[in-house]
Structure formats: structure tokens, C-alpha cells
Amino acid sequence: MKLSTIAKTSLALGILTTGVMTTHAQSVDATGFNSDGVYLTPKSTQELINYYKKSSFDHHNLSGHRIDNKVEFLDETIHQPIDVRLTGSDKDRFKNDSDLTNVDVFVVREDSSRQVNNQSIGGITKPNSQEYTDYVKKVPFSIERNKNGLKTTQDLQQYQIKKEEVSLKELDFKLRKELIDKHGLYSYGNNAGKIVIKMKDRDLANDYYTFDLSKKLEEERMGDVVDTKYIDRIDVEYK
């Protein structure tokens, strides 16, 4: 049996027995494909996939207790303790426990330990001021792809926003999760680019927010919040 045949047979057996493909000393071209035509996901990209495919949790009307730069919550409906770290502007917004009464908390577990407490960062917002049937608003949502000098734009189904105030953590996480699940983010070379949240009021200090798709959202931005009535559209660019 030829050595090349043995190598390919070993690779196939490795995938069948472990569910994981490992490669050794294989050449990879600029598009991320090895000499056998198999696409290899870079380690840094796989880490992003693992994070943004985690489960997330929306908790409503919680009250918390701040200790230094951490807020302790308890969701009494499921008896789940939640520890939220404050890392940015949320340090100033939630100075006292009175600021942490009846708030919403968007949680993504930031570690892989099996401890009882859910450890999260940012994601604390005010609750909606009224009931909504399905969503607060819908905004245009599009993807621009630029491959080999060919630029295409795809208009997606309008994006539904269900909160009057939303954290950058929640926007970034839910948008990337949808892009991964439905629109090929982090697949076949779509590993870089940006999400731009464009605002209606150009007189705002921040008339747009950008999420860099090549890295996880910065921790100090996870507590920043957006008044959703000013969101105009969401544009995604794959590079």
C-alpha cells in the first residue's frame, strides 16, 4: 500500500474514532485548505466558535447586591445564583444596590467550571417600560461579502430587537450566534470582518458601534448599553 494511501486511511480512522481531525506537517494554502482539500479551522477561530455557540440566558426583574466590582443575583424562579463582573461603564451606572432593583441580566457563562454560580460579565439593563407582543422594533440587516475582488450584498430578514435597552454583550453575542448558525460566519474563510450597528441620530456621541469578528468582544464593552429606538440598521462585512 502506498504511503499516501496509508496516511489518508489513518486520517479517516482518526476522525471516526475521535470525532476530531488532527493533521501533522500538511501544507495549507492561503484559503485555509490543506493539500487534501480539507478546510482547517484555525485555533483562534475555533475558540470564537466555541464561545459564541454557548448557551445564553435572559433573566428578568432581578435584584442584585454589589460587592466591589461584582454583582450577586439570585434568580428565584430557578434558584440559580449569578455573579456578574462589572468591567466598564456599568461600574458607574450601578453604584448602589438601589440601582440594581428589578433589572434584566443577559448571561453567558464565562468559564467552563462546574461550580453552581453562573459567572458572567456585563449584560445588565433596565427592563422594558411596557409589554410588547413580539418585539420592540425590527431593523434592516445585511451581509456584504468580498472574496477575490467580487463584492456581493445580501439583505437578510429584518432583525428583531426585543428590548428597549440592550447591552453590547447581548447584541454582539446573539448576532454572531445567528451568523454562525445561518450565514457561514467562521466557516470557509469567513473569519474576519465586522458588525456595524448604525444609529439614527447622528448627533449622538456614538452614532455607530462596531464588533470586530476576528476577536471576542472586549470585556470592558460588555456592560455598555444602547437605546434601541435609535438603532437604524445592522450591517455585516465578511473579509
Task: Please name each of the domains of the chain with its CATH number.
Answer: 3-40 (no CATH), 56-125 (2.40.50.110), 137-238 (3.10.20.120)
Distance CA 39, CA 42 (A): 10
Q: What percent of the chain has pLDDT over 70?
A: 79
- Check residue 34 and give its pLDDT: 54
Sheet holding 124-125, edge to edge: 56-62, 103-108, 124-125
Task: Please determine, for residue 156, whether its predicted confidence score (pLDDT) is greater than 70.
Answer: yes
Q: Please tell me the least confidently modeled range out of 17-31, 38-52, 176-190.
A: 17-31
Distance CA 159, CA 65 (A): 34
Q: How far apart are the first and last CA of the chain?
A: 42
- Check residue 35 and give its pLDDT: 52
Secondary structure (3-state) at 52: helix
Task: Please determine, for residue 66, whether its predicted confidence score (pLDDT) is greater than 90.
Answer: yes
Number of CB atoms found within 10 A of residue 137's CB: 15
Task: Please determine, for residue 20, whether its predicted confidence score (pLDDT) is greater than 50.
Answer: no
**pLDDT band for position 39 (50/70/90)?**
low
Q: What is the pLDDT of residues 93-103, one digit of tens each?
A: 999 999 999 99
- Check residue 53 and give its pLDDT: 96
Q: What is the pLDDT of residues 121-155, one digit of tens each?
A: 999 999 999 999 999 999 999 999 988 889 999 99
**pLDDT band for position 201 (50/70/90)?**
confident
- The answer to whether 214 touches 192, Cβ cutoff 8 Å, is yes
